[in-house]
């Protein structure tokens, strides 16, 4: 009818020749472009010219990382660069972040780095290193490092039956925490344990525990 109101929500996907999503626009207006190992970035629609150029820029990945996985031509679905942009309709400005990924020749991620803004609107690189993979390809340790902050260390444990379910995650809390009296507090670990129904793979419960070192 004439008085009807419609709520319009739109999502857009564009794929490369390997079936990877190279362009995605979500209902909130965020647009994400992704490039992959051994797969060319191609967006030919005129409406996406700006993002085509931005996507080409993501192919600068070799300037940041020398991906050994590039020599394994059977792998083509691992992202090497990703750009997310959101335009503000009121003033024409936009916000953006870009991320690059480094892999070993097995396809396990070794490191990522994301260009972000700090509290003073300065550009900073946030790096994450993925360490100590087990024989099943599970990452057992992760270290997040950024300029001017102390690194964050996270360890992971997995089930012994299927060797694929995350059963425990422990995050180390900074050593430089000051208590209410102005004294340096003891370092703390935040551990989250997970329980599953292994027949269905459904997560049933999580338990968080905080302990001093």
State pLDDT tens for residues 142-182. 999 887 677 889 999 999 999 999 999 999 876 555 566 66
Going 192 to 196 to 202 to 207, the CA torsion angle's sign is negative
- Reference 21, options 37, 10, 9, 32; nearest CA is 32
* Higher per-residue confidence, 68 vs 51: 68
CA distance 95 to 85: 6
Q: What's the sign of the alpha-carbon dihedral 163, 168, 169, 170?
A: negative
Apex CA 166: angle with CA 160 and CA 170, to 5°? 110
Average pLDDT taken over every residue of the chain: 80
State mean pLDDT over 35-52.
Answer: 65
Residue 202 clears pLDDT 90, i.e. is over it: yes
Written as six digits, the tokens of 100 are 């690059």
pLDDT of amino acid 46: 45
Distance from the Cα of residue 20 to its chain's centroid: 17
pLDDT tens by residue, 101-114: 999 888 899 999 98
Q: Give the residue with greater pLDDT, 47 vs 171.
A: 171
Confidence class for position 83, pLDDT limits 50, 70, 90 = confident
pLDDT in tens, 122-147: 888 899 999 989 999 999 999 998 87
């Amino acid at each position: 009818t004439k008085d009807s109101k419609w709520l319009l929500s739109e999502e857009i996907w564009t794929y490369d020749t390997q079936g990877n999503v190279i362009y995605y626009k979500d209902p909130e207006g965020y647009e994400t472009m992704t490039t992959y190992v051994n797969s060319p970035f191609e967006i030919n629609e005129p409406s996406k010219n700006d993002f085509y150029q931005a996507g080409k820029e993501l192919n600068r990945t070799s300037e940041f990382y020398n991906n050994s996985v590039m020599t394994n031509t059977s792998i083509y679905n691992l992202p090497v660069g990703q750009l997310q942009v959101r335009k503000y309709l009121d003033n024409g400005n936009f916000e953006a972040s870009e991320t690059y990924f480094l892999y070993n020749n097995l396809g396990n991620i070794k490191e990522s780095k994301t260009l972000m803004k700090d509290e003073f609107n300065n550009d900073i690189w946030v790096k994450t290193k993925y360490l100590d993979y087990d024989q099943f390809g599970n990452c057992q340790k992760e270290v997040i490092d950024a300029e001017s902050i102390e690194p964050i260390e996270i360890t992971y444990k997995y089930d012994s039956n299927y060797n694929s379910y995350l059963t425990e995650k422990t995050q180390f809390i900074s050593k430089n925490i000051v208590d209410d009296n102005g004294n340096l507090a003891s370092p703390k670990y935040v551990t989250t344990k997970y329980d599953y129904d292994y027949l269905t793979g459904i997560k049933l419960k999580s338990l968080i525990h905080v302990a001093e070192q």
